[in-house]
Structure formats: C-alpha cells, structure tokens
Amino acid sequence: MTDTDSKNKALIIGNSALEKKADDVVVLNMQKVSGFCDYFVTTSAGSFKKTRAIADHIEESLAKEKLKPHHVEGKEEGHWILLDYGDVVAHVFYEETRRFYDIERLWGDAERIEL
C-alpha cells in the first residue's frame, strides 16, 4: 500500500463522516510519529445512535472500494468506535468520550490533513 493509497483511504473516511454530519473531523498523518498506522481519522457525534450511523457509513463507503476493516471495536456501545483498516484507523467518538481521551492532543506532533 502506498502513501497515496493510505491518504486516499483516510480522505474517504473523513468525507464519509462529513456526509453523515459528523462533528469536528480531523485527519492526522501518523507516519512520522507512529509505527502502527499511516493515518488517524477522528470524529464525534452527540448521540450513540449517530456514532453508529457514522461508523456504518464509513464501512459502506470503503466497501464500495472493496475495502473491509481488519477489526471493529465499540460499535455496540457507541462511546468509541474504532475501525481498523490497517494503514488507516478511524475513531468515531461520542462527544464526551472524545473530550475525555483527547487523542488529538496525545498525537499533537502529527500533521493535520485538510479535507
């Protein structure tokens, strides 16, 4: 997988989240700060139902590109849904959970990518 492929995947995830009216979509280039993935996409919503809808839409959008997540966590509860696509990891948070964990601050050295 090339960096361009990874970046395109991250952009598809970010734009899919925006299509579902996700709040505060952030794409982080993790290549210089992490060895486990190329990009993080982080977003949030004000209800658990909406976090699940955003995660479902992301999965549907990438399925159209013949991409399936390697692993999905937290979808049942909806507090923090993690969609692991290997080189790109999407985090769909319930707003309060996102504020509590504040992962953008933890990875503050990562470059932000504009959608």
Domain count within the chain: 1
pLDDT in tens, 61-109: 999 999 999 999 999 999 999 999 999 999 999 999 999 999 888 888 8
Q: Which residues contact 22 (CB under 8 A, 6 or more apart)?
A: 43, 44, 45, 50, 54, 92
Mean pLDDT of 21-46: 94
| Boundaries of domain holding 102 | 3-113
- Predicted pLDDT at 106: 85
The C-alpha atoms of residue 64 and residue 56 are separated, in whole angstroms, by 13
Lowest mean pLDDT among 22-26, 33-37, 56-60: 33-37
CATH code of residue 21: 3.30.460.10
114 has pLDDT over 90: no
- Predicted pLDDT at 2: 57
Q: Shortest CA distance to 9 belongs to which of 40, 44, 33, 30?
A: 40
Q: What is the CA radius of gyration of the chain?
A: 13
